[in-house]
Amino acid sequence: MNDIITGEEYSVIGKRIPRDEGKAIVTGMAQYIDDLSFPGMLVAKMLRSPVSRGRITRLDLKPALRVNGVMAVIGYGDMPANMVGGRYDTPVFSDGDLRHKGQPIACIAAVDEEAARQGLKAIELEIDELPPVLDMDRALDPDSPLVRPEGNTYEFTPGATLRKIRLGDVEKGFSEADVIVEGHYDIAPVEHAPIETQACVAHIDFIDRLTIYTTTQQVYSHQNQLAILLGLPMSKLRLIGLTQGGGFGGKSDMPCEAYAGMLALKTRRPVKFTFTREEEMTCSTIRGKWQMHYKDGVTKDGRLTARYCKTFLDSGPTIGLGPYCLEKGSSLTSGPYYCPNIWADARLILTNKSKAGSLRGLGIFSSMYASETQMSRLAAKIGMDPIEFRLKNVWREGEATNTSMKISAVAGIECMQAAAKLAGIDLPPHLKALSSLAGRCAD
């Protein structure tokens, strides 16, 4: 078996291996959602909230059905369930409260886009616009309007709005430091901007099963949620993921499948729902805004002694993946470095901005950005080469993370040594001699 794995004839490591779907993609033969077409297929369009916060005072969907070409319209109450998302806290349709711009109010199926647009215009909608909460500082103000009835700060457990990490004695660690460096870091909201926007096609297949072709990154999770939303047994619901024109985490949510699926059930005709570029940029999930304040202590010879970190994440009006993102980020407060004394507090804040969700390394990128910037600033402050400073502090075999998890198979030093070599940096002998397997006092 060892010969098979390491033998040159069978080795794939270090070689350029063609992707199975690569040829189809570069030749244009790959099939995307918008390439699909079925006889009698309808087009779905969404009526969305034009305000960030408000209350629907009047909604009449019936006029849309009088528009030539409109075949169906659905809104709140037309599905067996109305909550979706990882924590089932995202309304499929507004129940009257509007918590973010672009929130779905009603969805139309029509014979073409023009008929769908005219149908949307015919819907009678009146809204009492309310002052929105658009930043985290405002959300935390005691006088702030409530984004959700339960408040503007997520409770990880009843009454606990902080996710805390405590390791060692942080005050003692700061007293042992020769230098203290503080830094405040903001990460602006980021949209995924995939070339292919959110899209799906739903139709009733030849065995009377609802089949949905989708761009989702979570086929099985969404099949389960859809079964609940649409009131179908799993045996009557099939999801097929086609080639994706980019996802990056933004297609981990389910922004169109439930609507197309319900409209297909209602009309017994295929329904395609494709986001416009404007909808993709304003109505799909984003990486929420992060705010982080760091305070680090370090000795003159380059040893981290303490780290204090306060983190805030803007989750928009829904909880979704927010706690997971925040907990992942908090678990890496010290990055891949050994720090004996840590105090970290993290809060998930709700606002009336766009819904936050997954984007490439959710939670990790944000913490690493702040942590690594701090590491470079600390190295500069004590006059040490930034690579040497990191090599001094990176985890060693058998050490514990800031959540006290003991780690094994550590290779941080070896990775940095290899990276330096590839970058053409000739490390001095004492840094080349370092090993992750050696104890922290060995160097």
> Of 47-51, 115-119, 332-336, 375-379, which gets the smallest average pLDDT?
332-336
Residue 245 has a pLDDT of 93
Mean pLDDT over each residue of the chain, to the nearest integer: 94
Residue 2 has a pLDDT of 41
Summarised one tens digit per residue, pLDDT across range 360-405 is: 888 899 999 999 999 999 999 999 999 999 999 999 999 999 999 9
Summarised one tens digit per residue, pLDDT across range 288-347 is: 999 999 999 999 999 999 999 999 999 999 998 899 999 999 999 999 999 999 999 999
> Of 79-93, 192-206, 223-237, which gets the smallest average pLDDT?
79-93
- pLDDT > 60? residue 7: no
Residue 4 has a pLDDT of 41
- pLDDT > 80? residue 14: no
Residue 108 has a pLDDT of 98
Model confidence band, residue 32 (pLDDT cutoffs 50, 70, 90) = very high
- pLDDT > 80? residue 441: no
Residue 168 has a pLDDT of 97
Mean pLDDT confidence for 267-279: 98
Mean pLDDT confidence for 262-284: 97
Q: What domains can you pick out in the chain, each with its CATH number?
A: 37-130+193-283 (3.90.1170.50), 163-190+286-442 (3.30.365.10)
Distances (CA, A) of 177 to 124, 297, 308, 339, 381: 65, 5, 13, 12, 13
Model confidence band, residue 176 (pLDDT cutoffs 50, 70, 90) = very high
Q: How far apart are alpha carbons 430 and 443 in whole angstroms?
A: 8
Residue 361 has a pLDDT of 87
- pLDDT > 60? residue 6: no
Is residue 285 within 8 Å of residue 355, measured between CB atoms? yes
